Structure 1
């Protein structure tokens, strides 16, 4: 009996001592490990923040923008004057004499009735044509919601093309973007600036989308916003005669300036598809075709380029990451 009691007490004591030692050593290990773990977490967090900040500084770029215009709905054409009556008659020059058969000039009633029928039919056909329902094709839809081509030409040039940047800066400062003729000049001068520097062409891309006026405006705005989102500061702009220039807050990265990217967007009434750009000749043709749009058909234009500020950079890695669709020439 005595042995059994001692044995049980011994086991209880061993269990208590083991449990106490476990708690002690566990707390000590946690206390010793905690500062080191917290220090490591702090170092990792600081490293991550520095890395994110460095990437943000590298990706922070300036940009320039010129253009304006709108996709206003054209007013429907007024009815042709030739479709109305002349001298009180029904089209075709047939007037008052048509009423004579109905007032007792016998023998000729049936002939004049047929002539009246053709005159009235001619009048109705002209009226329908002038209102846009005749003539086949799109009719009134083409008048109020015509076809529009939204075109985009994008060129990646070597950063040595400093004179091109200066030409675009000067164009932004001197252009009248509040008028149709001024915007047509912006398009012509912008395409000419690129055509004058083929020795710097490295990458390019073109696209054209034909749609109705309502869809074209949304498409143009989408393309413009997409290009403007690729830089963080719009340091120079002239849109609808609203000129703005600000000092760049960009931080020059260690990587050298390698490229300049210029994008030209144009909304032109009618169907005018650009050729696919696969080489320098295709690009030259696309720029000439785009720049030839007249002020009467040009609805909107924007020229967007980056970098704009002096000392700002666009490295090869930035180009590949931001403009993956550009094709080498």
Structure 2
């Protein structure tokens, strides 16, 4: 009986030990990964996007120029009598010809209106709740790309993050900094979600909080034109086992771009360096009049520090080799 029970329990004991080992390793890695500080550049808001609208001419009282509405004579507006000033409604062929002209003009106006609405829909406009794209692009680079950390630090220190024009410049400069180091690209991943304006901010913030939580702290940040930088002593104190000096293989820098944009923004699924190059170019091409919010995050922020392969594996499991 004892042997039977032991044979039954043995597989369960092994399974429990394996599960316990996985949990222990995961928590051990996660704890180490939190030792890395990061940098952050961002700003913007999800206000209703501005768009040019057509305003109808003002109507004036009869006798004061153009009148009020369709119907009322030349002095009272562009109406039916205006189209039939000579022929009249009972003029036989002339009247029929005038009616046909009126129908053609009316059809032209209706079709123009429909085309205008269709163009607005293709750009993501839908009354007061337009379509918004929330995109995330992440790039893991070999630690040898130390110039990138310096480039992002300089962008953060001089950027104007209080306006969409300044944020668009940050986006262009950040994507250019990444495009200049293709020889160091090793991992990447992209996602784009289409949502409505009322839900876009919460979706954007959810992604942002998830990325910021991977830092032990933000040692350099410029958000809404508020520049903050940790002292060198604090930055040194935040170093931990997850950080290593950038002089060996298997060490990385990770950059994350979060973009909230009006209309439909499509990024390719990143499976190769060509896909990554195309995604960076498309993201960097978002114009200031479409850009609503931007966050550029990178870790580690301090020059000469990197993430280990274990950190990347635990904190960025969705990244693919490119």
Is the shorter-chain TM-score for this pair beyond 0.5, marking a shared fold? yes
Which among 214, 236, 257 is matched to residue 230 of structure 1? 214
Which has the higher Rg, Structure 1 or Structure 2? 1
For 1:126 and 1:83, how far apart are their aligned partners in 2?
19
Cα separation, partners in 2 of 1:141 and 1:300, compared to 1, 3 Å: closer
Map of 1:62 onto structure 2: 37
Cα separation, partners in 2 of 1:87 and 1:251, compared to 1, 3 Å: closer
Q: Which has the higher contact order (CA 8 A, sep 6+)?
A: 2
Cα separation, partners in 2 of 1:210 and 1:84, compared to 1, 3 Å: farther
Cα separation, partners in 2 of 1:58 and 1:261, compared to 1, 3 Å: closer
Cα separation, partners in 2 of 1:255 and 1:222, compared to 1, 3 Å: closer
Cα separation, partners in 2 of 1:93 and 1:239, compared to 1, 3 Å: farther
Q: Residues 265-307 of structure 1: CA distance to partner in whole angstroms, max 9, x if unpaired?
A: 1111111210000000000000000000111111111100001
Map of 2:11 onto structure 1: none
The 3-state SS of whatever aligns with 1:183 is helix
| Kept in 2: contact 1:268–1:297 (CA 8 A) | yes
Deviation at 1:220, TM superposition (A): 1.1
Cα separation, partners in 2 of 1:255 and 1:193, compared to 1, 3 Å: closer
1:269 aligned onto 2:262: yes
Deviation at 1:212, TM superposition (A): 1.4
Deviation at 1:158, TM superposition (A): 0.8
Map of 2:186 onto structure 1: 202
Map of 1:315 onto structure 2: 308
User: With structure 1 as the length reference, what TM-score do the two structures score?
Assistant: 0.69
Deviation at 1:217, TM superposition (A): 1.7
| Kept in 1: contact 2:141–2:253 (CA 8 A) | yes
Bigger helix fraction? 1
| Kept in 2: contact 1:63–1:307 (CA 8 A) | yes
Q: Residues 65-86 of structure 1: CA distance to partner in whole angstroms, max 9, x if unpaired?
A: 0011111013675552258576
Cα separation, partners in 2 of 1:56 and 1:188, compared to 1, 3 Å: same
User: With structure 2 as the length reference, what TM-score do the two structures score?
Assistant: 0.71
Deviation at 1:219, TM superposition (A): 1.3
Cα separation, partners in 2 of 1:55 and 1:178, compared to 1, 3 Å: closer
1:1-329 map, 5 Å: 56=31, 59-74=34-49, 78-82=53-57, 87-91=66-70, 94-96=73-75, 135=117, 142-247=126-231, 248=235, 249-253=237-241, 256-257=244-245, 258-310=251-303, 312-329=305-322
Q: Residues 207-255 of structure 1: CA distance to partner in whole angstroms, max 9, x if unpaired?
A: 1111211222211111111111111110000011010001313134286
For 1:254 and 1:263, how far apart are their aligned partners in 2?
19
The aligned length equals 273
Cα separation, partners in 2 of 1:196 and 1:71, compared to 1, 3 Å: same
For 1:295 and 1:108, how far apart are their aligned partners in 2?
54
Unaligned stretches of 5+ in structure 2? 1-26, 82-86, 246-250
Cα separation, partners in 2 of 1:93 and 1:227, compared to 1, 3 Å: farther
Map of 2:84 onto structure 1: none
Q: Residues 149-181 of structure 1: CA distance to partner in whole angstroms, max 9, x if unpaired?
A: 111110001111110000000000011111111
| Kept in 1: contact 2:43–2:293 (CA 8 A) | yes
| Kept in 2: contact 1:252–1:313 (CA 8 A) | no
Unaligned stretches of 5+ in structure 1? 1-51, 101-106
| Kept in 1: contact 2:149–2:303 (CA 8 A) | no
The 3-state SS of whatever aligns with 2:166 is helix
The 3-state SS of whatever aligns with 2:307 is coil
